[in-house]
Amino acid sequence: MPRKPRIEVEGLPYHIIARGIERRKIFRDKTDYRFFLGRLGKILIDTHTDLWAFSLLPNHFHLLIRSNKVSISTVMRRLLTGYAVVFNKRHKRVGHLFQNRYKSIVCQEEPYLLELIRYIHLNPIRAKLVADMDELGSYPYSSHSALLMKTNLSWYIPEIVLDQFGKNYKLAQKNYLRFLIEGLSSDRDFDYEGGGRKRSRESANTDPKESQAFDERVLGDSDFVLALQGHEEKILNRSEDIEMTELVNLVADSYNLTPEQIQGKGITDSLNEARAVSAYLIATQGGLSFSEIASYFDVHRSNAARMVNRGKLIRLNDDIKTRVHV
C-alpha cells in the first residue's frame, strides 16, 4: 500500500520522531548533540517555528513543534539533511543516516498537547539513560532541563510550556514537575508514536466514538480525524521529502555515474556537470547552505557557491530537466 502524503496544517502541533537507520546511533558524542541543537535553534528562529518540547536519545529524537510561516517538511528537510552531511563528514561514513522518512503526526491540542510534552520529556527515563527525575533534570539534551533553567538554550522559550502550569515561574515549575511524576506512576498505554490510541481497534474500554475514525498521521479524537480527512483538499499535502543522498543518486543515474564518483575528486566534463546539478538540487531541495555543500564535496565555500550557480543554469536547459526529474 502506498504511503499517504503528509498532512500539513499551519498552526497545529506536530509530534516528530526520527530514528537512525537500522536503529544505529545518530548522536555519538557531545559534539553531535551540540551541533544538532545549534542547528535546530537556528532553523526554528529562521522559520518562525514554535517548539514545545524535544528529547534527543542516541538513536532517535522527538520534537513537538508548530509551524507558522514555513512548512514542517521544509523545517525537517533543512534540519535532517544538514545534520547528516556534517555527521557523515565527522565520522567518515557515507549513505543514509536516518531510517526511512521521519514520522510526522498532527495533534489535537486538547487533550494531547500536555500529554505529549510529558511523554517526550520522560523518554530518557524510559530508555534508561537516566535513573530518576533528579538525573532527568540534569540531562542536557532535552527541553526538560531548559524548563528547569539547568540548561541555557537562548532560542528555547520555557514560557511556551510553563504558562500552562501556573501564573508565576515557581508555581508553574512545581505543577509541571508534579505532572511529570504522575506520568511515571501511571499505567497509561497511549501509543504516541503510532498516531495515538488505536481508534480502529474495538475494545470494551474504548469510547464508541473513538473507534469511528483512525488515521496514523493524526493524534486526536474521531471528530478531529474526520475534520482533517474531510478537508484534505484544503490541507497542504506536500510532496515526499527527498534526502540529499536520494538527490545525488538521481543525478548519478541520469549521468550514468555512481554517487561516489560525484562526491569524489575525478575531473571530467560529465562529472563537473553532475556535481553542479547535485549541488543545486541539494541547495534548493535539501535546504543546505554553501558551507554545508562545501563540506559534502570537500571544496571551498566559494567553489560550492559557483557549483550551485552553474547547476542552476544547467537545470534551465530543457534537456537536463527531462533527464533529472526532481
- 6 located within any domain: no
Question: Do 186 and 128 belong together in one domain?
Answer: yes
Omega within 30 of 0 (cis) for the link into 111: yes
Residue listed under C-alpha cell 529562521:
46
Q: Dig out the grid coordinates for 279 from the structure.
A: 549541488
CA angle 109-42-169, nearest 5°? Answer: 50
Question: Do 111 and 256 belong together in one domain?
Answer: no
Question: Do 259 and 194 belong together in one domain?
Answer: no
Question: Do 120 and 145 belong together in one domain?
Answer: yes
d(CA 141, CA 57): 8
Q: Is residue 107 scored above 90 in pLDDT?
A: no
- 239 located within any domain: no
- 252 located within any domain: yes
State which of 207, 234, 261 marks the end of a domain.
Answer: 234
Question: Do 230 and 126 belong together in one domain?
Answer: yes
- 99 located within any domain: yes
CATH number for the domain harbouring residue 290: 1.10.1750.10
State which of 234, 265, 286 marks the end of a domain.
Answer: 234
User: What pLDDT score does 88 carry?
Assistant: 87
Of residues 28 and 309, more confidently modeled: 28
Closest CA to 217 of 12, 11, 20, 19: 12
pLDDT band at 135 (very low <50, low <70, confident <90, very high): very high
Question: Do 178 and 294 belong together in one domain?
Answer: no
- 309 located within any domain: yes
Q: How many domains does the chain have?
A: 2
Residue type, 86: V
DSSP SS3 for 110? helix
- Beta bridge partners, 17, equal 62, 103
d(CA 190, CA 234): 29
User: What pLDDT score does 55 carry?
Assistant: 98
User: What pLDDT score does 3 carry?
Assistant: 61
Question: Do 26 and 166 belong together in one domain?
Answer: yes
C-alpha to C-alpha distances, 304 to 27, 87, 294, nearest whole angstrom? 27, 19, 5
The predicted-structure confidence for 137-165, as pLDDT tens digits, reads as follows 999 999 999 999 898 899 999 999 999 99
d(CA 4, CA 104): 11
State which of 206, 234, 262 marks the end of a domain.
Answer: 234
Question: Do 148 and 250 belong together in one domain?
Answer: no
Of residues 192 and 304, more confidently modeled: 304
- 288 located within any domain: yes
Question: Do 91 and 197 belong together in one domain?
Answer: yes
Give the domain extent around 282: 244-323
Q: Is residue 104 scored above 70 in pLDDT?
A: yes
The predicted-structure confidence for 266-281, as pLDDT tens digits, reads as follows 888 888 888 998 888 8
Mean pLDDT over 119-133 rounds to 94
- 61 located within any domain: yes
3 state SS for 114-151: HHHHHHHHCHHHHCCCCCCHHHHHCCCCEHHHHHCCCC
- 4 located within any domain: no
CATH number for the domain harbouring residue 210: 3.30.70.1290
Q: Tell me the average pLDDT of the chain.
A: 82
Q: Which of 51-60, 70-79, 183-192 has the highest mean predicted lDDT (pLDDT)?
A: 51-60
Question: Do 65 and 142 belong together in one domain?
Answer: yes
Q: Which of 1-5, 151-155, 212-216, 253-257 has the highest mean predicted lDDT (pLDDT)?
A: 151-155
Question: Do 163 and 78 belong together in one domain?
Answer: yes
Closest CA to 63 of 16, 113, 97, 111: 16
User: What pLDDT score does 186 carry?
Assistant: 67
Sign of the C-alpha dihedral computed for residues 301, 262, 72 and 219 taken in this order: negative
User: What pLDDT score does 198 carry?
Assistant: 43
Question: Do 200 and 302 belong together in one domain?
Answer: no
Residue 166: Cβ within 10 Å count: 14
Query: What is the biggest distance separating any 2 CA atoms in the chain, rounded to whole angstroms?
Result: 68
User: What pLDDT score does 313 carry?
Assistant: 85
User: What pLDDT score does 161 carry?
Assistant: 95
User: What pLDDT score does 242 carry?
Assistant: 57
Mean pLDDT over 6-20 rounds to 86
Closest CA to 36 of 115, 129, 117, 98: 98
pLDDT band at 167 (very low <50, low <70, confident <90, very high): confident
Mean pLDDT over 214-233 rounds to 70
Of residues 240 and 17, more confidently modeled: 17
